[in-house]
Structure 1
Amino acid sequence: MDPIKLFIRRPIFTAMLLLALVVFGLFSWPKMGVDMMPDMDIPVVTVVTVLPGADPETIEKDVTEPLEEVFNTLPGLHTLTSVNVENVSQIIIRFDMERDIDVAAQDIRDRVQSTLSKLPTDIQTPLIQKLDPGAMPILTLAFSGPLSAERMSNFAEDELKPALQQINGVGTVTIFGDQQSEVRITLDPTRLRAHGLTPLDAVGAVRAQDLDLSSGRTAESHVERIVKLKAEARSVEELRTLVLSSPMGIPVRLGEVADVTQGPAEPRSLARLGSSAAIGLTVTKQSGANTVQVVSNILAGIAGLQQRLPEGCELQVVHDDSKYIRSSITAVQEDMGIGGVLAVVVVLIFLRNWRSTLVSAVALPTSVIGTFAFMHLLGFTFNIVTMLALTLSIGLLIDDAIVVIENVVRHLENGVPPMRAAAEGTRQIAIAVLAVTLSVVAMFLPVAFMSGIIGRVFVQFGVTVVVAVMISYAVSMTLTPMMSSRVLREEGRLDRWVWRLVERVISAMERVYRSVLGALLRHRAFTLLSAVALLAVSVFMATRLEFSFIPKQDMSSVKVSLELPPGSRLEETGRQLADIAAIIQKIPGVRSTFITAGGGVKEEVNKGDVLVTLEPIRERSYSQQDLQKYLRATLKAVPGTMISVVDGSSIAGGLGRPQDIQFELRGTDWEAVLAAATKVEAAMKANPMFVDVDMSYRAGKPQLDVLVDRERAASLGILAAPLGQSLRVLLGRDKVGDFRQGGRTSEIKVMLPDDVLADPLALGSVQVRTLMGTLVELRNVAKLVDGTSAGQIDHGAQVRQITMLANLQGASLSEGMRFLNEFATAEFPPTVKTGFTGMGGELGDAMKEFVMAIFMGVILLYIILAAQFESLIHPLSIMMALPLAVIGALGALFLVNQDMSLFAMIGMVMLLGLVAKNGILLIEFTNQLREKGHGVHEALLEAGPVRLRPILMTTVAMIAGMTPVALARGDGAETRVPMAIAIIGGLITSTFLTLGIVPVVYSVLDGVRARLGALWSRGKKAAKMPVVDASSAKVDEGA
């Protein structure tokens, strides 16, 4: 039985079938998470190793190089880079996207374990972490008040952090700017000397005597008890009485050679909210958790925490990622709603029938809501990518219903009864509509299979579009004909003068189009040459268009980063950051400023940031990029300092550093690399397109070199090891034990007095014990010399590298990359290798993936068209229209000064599917007419005007659906606008070019096909003719 008739004759069955899909969609809707980007695994693992007291060169030689050697043979390795700073080695290992991250991390753990014997014995256990984009910081809080730094820190650690961690969806809570209590043992070199002790003697005694130690268990007859040695000091006074030695039976106690005090630790980080000191808390969500829901849970929890805060204290939200997510998702939903309404209005204008408009309008929410069910089934979330897919699909989702209804209405106008009109009209167009749907699927299915990071991001886009258009097709073949058979009536037509005027205009367009098409068919050569010329214009525009990775976004957040000269103290960093914050706070539209400095594993106290939170974009008169430009001009850096201005947050934040340009220079000749970096830095600073120019390499950090006289030391019996250990203990503020009191654990640290630390030459009085047991001052075996060291050393591919960093102002990413590539080719020696990371590194790979996806889509499209038309020639007439669509898309992007970004490329992919749709509708009807005996030109001249109305209707509906997106100005608009502009521009030009050029190409190719067929037939006839022997012919002739 004809399935279309089945759905028409069983309306309850049909309605319930679609209702079930809608119910599942509505059930799935509230269960789907809301997030910025899709959940994805990026196979990146970091290995952080701490060697206290080591300079970057020591870290590089003793820690990083041995680990890199074993990591370099990891299977599936993509890149291997490292950063070496004071005390810390950080190795970043990126694998191919197909590599299982859990297996890769285990391989790394095994190799680290096997390499530990080659590393220094006093390293801390290497920390191995997988990069999880789904477990990122989502909320920053500031805790401020009138209490002391120690009490504030204790409350944050004991009350706030545990309370936040208990909230559903919260992963970790990181505290910075705090000052925990510590016990300081400040050794007095003079008193140590008087008692014949060295710093190592004191440290050794503390470590040996201040401890709790499990010592086994008893084996009594009725009970088994654990034996534990409890020798930890229970008070500071008890620690002071700890015996270091007992010469002549007289004990020397710790308090006699050192000042033992308890108080706040030396600050190595700071935080300020505005002008007030604060403690910062960064909340990271669990992997896969819903960002918006987690933040909502946290804010509800904070409301309860406010009641428990000490008097006068405040807990405020400084930065909230969920605000932007909620706002951008809401803006997309608004665009969808407005676009859907406009698309329905277009149908009403063209058909002038409220009944047919109602039938087509029902298809839109049915398809969208039904898509939710499959999105939930596939584990998708509502994010920028999936919402963009739904927004761009609005015009598509109503297209199939429009084509069906228009054909049914045409049958009704010819006097066919509604039931029969619905069945025949739908059946006549069913194959064409299926081909239209499959053409869109053909273009988007390869997008779902792109590789690399871009593939992981856009797989949900491709799948969402494919699912949506397939549901739309199902609706158009079931619900639409069923409703048409019962709802459509001639009396539903609107007949006021406005509607009659619209009908006259459309009828006039059909007559004009018929005349123009006839002229084009009579001058086919001129038409084709004009098409080639237009194609050349599009190629020219493509060469003039610049490329970018992701458009700059206004997320109401700016970060000003400050770097002081190496060796600067935290207090000076904080003071300059406060000056910057004071200037920014005076700018209208600035909601708050939050200062952070130091902290983290690296504890770079000479670096800090001012996080600027702005009012929402609709509530201020300038953009985030305008403010960045203003701040760069206003905040003049003091000589020796660096100030850069970047986005406070970004959807590309997972690509590493925040700068637009990340240009790597590496090679085995370090001096050549350093010289090349200096050259390109000067060139970048001289070019106005580059701002915030910097390099990763840091030189000139002040250093005090202790030059040991080996012969003198050997003659006195002094080894270098205890000498270095003594300096480490006294200057490195090493932890030598734990002090537990009142349920709190504080670190015990040993150090020198401030007056000795303030005078480097006083270090010469530090004593070292010889092998004979005598004491010798440091100055007797070593010289103290001023020097410098590198502040940071980077590696790439196991050799030293320097990364040039910069942001772009008034230029695209491709322009900046082109300048640097040309400069490197002209100025760098062959030994210096270059490359791009970050957005620049991903741009080339992304464009290759999109080109491959489009190529595969075109192949699939040809296969679909060949199968539909049962011809290898006719699909080419439609395929010829694809390049013509590029003309309008590139022209539109060029006119509005938009770069070709990833999102514009997605628009181009969708555009190619839509262009094929118009050609299919035209050629399918032409073939139907030819089957009835019409000639080629006669069929084209009849099919063109008949199909003009549905082609214009679907095109204008698509443009109407895209218009709110193209005009968007809210949060997230920067990613949506390029897509919509490319689609609208391409649709406008391609529609007219398709209507004119596709029929001409069809006519030419049909003539070619006919001639080839004739030649083939002639050849077959010749092959069947009998071969006459020459001798036989002569005999016959003689006879």
Structure 2
Amino acid sequence: VVYQRIGNIPGVRSASIVSGRNFFSGSGSSYGLGFVLLDSFEERDADSLSSEAITQKMFMRTAGIADAKIIFFTPPSVPGFGASDGFEVRLLDRTARDIRDLDQVATEFSGVLSQRPEISYANNSFSTTFPQLMMEVNIPKAKEAGVPVSDILSAMQGYIGGFYAADFSRFGKQFRVFVQSKPEDREEADDLNSIFVRNTQGEMAPISEFVSLERTYGPQTIGRFNLFNNVTLNGGAAPGYSSGDAIRAIQEEAEKLPADYDIAFSGITREEIASAGQAGIIFALSILFVYFFLAAQYESYVLPLAVLLSLPIGVAGAYASISLMGLENNIYFQIALIMLLGLLAKNAILIVEFARQRRQHGLSITEAAVEGARVRLRPILMTSFAFILGLLPLALANGVGAVGNRSIGTGAVGGLLVGTVIGVFVIPVLFIVFQYLQEKVSSKPAVIHSNETKPNV
């Protein structure tokens, strides 16, 4: 049914469905998983054929299937960190209450998250309504017949559940041997009459004499995280929102949970939160080292501020560019910001250094600033626009890794363009202000005469 509904979506090449297992909860008779192959990127050049758009269409096509919970997701960006690309959060029961209460809270929590605009979907694969059979061993009767309880459990494990027995080598390969009865011999409860166990007298007795089955309902598996019973919730951010926005929405809703419940992030979401505070430290260290280098070069603690205070213009342009293009503030954009700081500082250093030299040759502060901007305008424009043109392929990238390439290219292009165009007017003004303050706190720089000046006779 699922394949019939998604197979004719434009951009979908094929799909394969496997029963008995899923990505989040492992194996189970009520689980299933599938792999959907899309057409190549060359054939999906339109925005309506992107993986995000196709995923939304598949959600819409399968929303009417009431007998199953069906979600579609892309693989994790970093293999090994979680089962899907998106957030992974654990709902923890800190007081070990009834497992049905945990199921109810998890269902309500995932429903609340799905209503948030920052979250595209939130899935909870945990359920206490799986049909099961509870086995009860009549221990007094087994002891009376001389049948150890451990033998009864071992026989049930071998015939029904199966277990690993041995290895054997053949045809140059090693094969593993598993013991288990055939599926048709373990379908009904009456099949227990065909399973026998040996007592202490060496006689065989049907295992159904000591075992009774009761139909019940319960969870397929019960997971534990940090020693607490937990339910794993997976989901993804809605279009136009970043993973950080989705994490903040989860944290806001988690504050409304009952007192006995809490959340803990896992997978790549946990790593993202752990490294979230490092970006500010890296930027602060970058600016601090630039300040120290410039202070040593200019022999001043004031004049480097003319360079540093020109950087926010380009940074603001970078944020505005990714906002206009609908991109996220991700790790790729943060790499572009660090690169952008060096490029913008280079432009400011060219103007400030030349203006400083003109000031030492006797020009006024204003004349030196204007002369520095005029003389250095051509090399600044040439290097900046050459770099911008070189980054256009990244900003207009398609195919594998297009989002990361666009984040780097768009952030660097937009920031450098705005910082260059506006900076050539702002940097001279900053030089005038801080050079004036420098001369207020220290003496006026000595005038350096040109060697071409003729000596007086």
Length-normalised TM-score, structure 2: 0.83
**What whole-Å deviation, never above 9, does each CA across 1:567-626 have from its counterpart, x for those lacking one?**
xxxxxxxxxxxx433444434443333444458996545444332322222323421221
1:632 to partner: Cα distance: 0.9
Query: Which protein is richer in helix relative to its size?
Result: 1
Q: Give the counterpart of 1:633 among 28, 42, 60.
A: 60
Instruction: Select 2:78's aligned residue among 652, 658, 667.
Output: 652
Answering whether residue 214 of structure 2 is matched by residue 790 of structure 1, we say: no
| Correspondence for 1:852 among 259, 270, 281 | 281
Note closer, same or farther for the CA distance 1:797–1:773 as it changes in structure 2 (3 Å cut): same
**2:360 is matched with which residue?**
931
Letter in 2 for 1:816: A
Report the AA paired with residue 656 of structure 1. Answer: G
Structure 1 residue 888, shift from structure 2 partner? 1.1
Checking the alignment, whether the CA contact within 8 Å between 2:11 and 2:54 is kept in structure 1 is no
Aligned residue for 2:94?
Answer: 668
Q: In the TM superposition, what is the alpha-carbon distance from 1:809 to its structure 2 partner?
A: 3.2
Change (3 A) 1:610 1:919: same
- Match for 1:816 among 238, 246, 270? 246
What is aligned with 1:609?
33
State how far apart, in whole Å, the 1-side matches of 2:177 and 2:130 are.
29
Aligned amino acid, residue 642 of structure 1: K
Counterpart check, 1:591 vs 2:13? yes
CA distance in 2, matches of 1:583, 1:704: 34
Change (3 A) 1:886 1:753: closer
Does residue 1:875 correspond to 2:304, yes or no? yes
Is the counterpart of residue 1010 in structure 1 residue 436 in structure 2?
Answer: no
Separation (CA, whole Å) in 2 of partners of 1:804 and 1:959: 42
Match of 2:455 in 1: none
Change (3 A) 1:675 1:958: same
CA distance in 1, matches of 2:263, 2:426: 47
Is the Cα contact below 8 Å between 1:930 and 1:936 reproduced in 2?
yes
Structure 1 position 706 matched with structure 2 position 128: no
Distance 1:637 1:607, change over 3 A: farther
For residues 682 and 617 of structure 1, do their structure 2 counterparts lie closer, same or farther at Cα, with a shift above 3 Å needed? same
Please provide the CA RMSD for this pair: 3.2
Displacement of 1:982 in angstroms is 1.6
Give the C-alpha shift of residue 972 in structure 1: 2.9
Partner of 1:732: 161
Counterpart mapping for 1:176-195 below 5 A: none
Task: Tell me the distance in 2 between the aligned counterparts of 1:716 and 1:594.
Answer: 51
Distance in structure 2 (CA, Å) of the matches to 1:781 and 1:654: 45
Whole-angstrom CA distance in 2 between matches of 1:975 and 1:1009 = 43
Partner of 1:619: 43
Q: For residue 669 of structure 1, what is the amino acid of its counterpart?
A: T
Cα offset, 1:662, TM superposition: 1.1
Counterparts in 2 of 1:679 and 1:996: CA distance versus 1, 3 Å:
same
Alpha-carbon shift at residue 942 of structure 1 (Å): 1.9
8 Å contact from structure 1 (residues 696, 792) kept in 2: no
Structure-1 separation of matches of 2:389 and 2:171: 69
Q: CA–CA distance in 1 between the matches of 2:409 and 2:170?
A: 64
User: 2:230 is paired with a residue of what secondary structure?
Assistant: strand
1:476-487 paired onto structure 2 within 5 Å: none
State how 1:43-442 maps to structure 2 within 5 Å: none
SS of 1:653's partner is coil
The reply to whether residue 989 of structure 1 matches residue 418 of structure 2 is: yes
**1:832-876 alpha-carbon deviations (Å, 9 max, x no partner):** 332323343233334322222211111111122112212222111
1:953 paired with 2:406, answer no
Counterpart mapping for 1:503-902 below 5 A: 579-598=1-20, 603-604=27-28, 606-620=30-44, 621=46, 622-636=49-63, 638-647=65-74, 649=75, 651-671=77-97, 673-687=102-116, 690-734=119-163, 747=177, 749=179, 751=181, 754=184, 757-763=186-192, 766-773=195-202, 776-810=205-239, 811-829=241-259, 831-902=260-331
Q: Which runs of 5+ in 1 are unaligned?
A: 1-578, 1015-1039
Superposition deviation, residue 640 in structure 1: 3.8
Distance in 2 between the 1:615 and 1:753 partners? 39
In the alignment, residue 663 of structure 1 is paired with which amino acid? V
Check whether the contact 2:85–2:236 (CA below 8 A) recurs between aligned residues.
Answer: yes
Letter matched to residue 14 of structure 2: S
Distance 1:921 1:790 in 2: 68
Partners in 1 of 2:293 and 2:300 — Cα distance?
A: 11
CA contact (8 A) 1:739 1:748 kept: no
TM-score (norm 1): 0.39
Q: Tell me if the contact between 2:113 and 2:253 (Cα under 8 Å) persists in the aligned partners.
A: no
Tell me whether 1:906 sits opposite 2:330 in the alignment. no
**Cα displacement (A) at 1:685:** 3.8
The amino acid across from 1:613 in the alignment is L
Native 8 Å contact 2:21 2:29 kept in 1: yes
> Structure 1 residues 595 and 762 mapped into 2: Cα distance closer, same or farther (>3 Å)?
closer
Code of the residue aligned with 2:425 in structure 1: it is G
For 1:818, the aligned partner's letter is R
Does the Cα contact within 8 Å between 1:591 and 1:615 map onto a contact in 2? Answer: yes
CA contact 2:192–2:206 (8 Å) conserved in 1 = no
Q: CA deviation at 1:646?
A: 1.5
Whether contact under 8 Å (2:168, 2:176) holds in the other structure is: yes
Q: Percent identity?
A: 25
**CA distance in structure 1 between the aligned counterparts of 2:420 and 2:182, rounded to whole angstroms:** 81
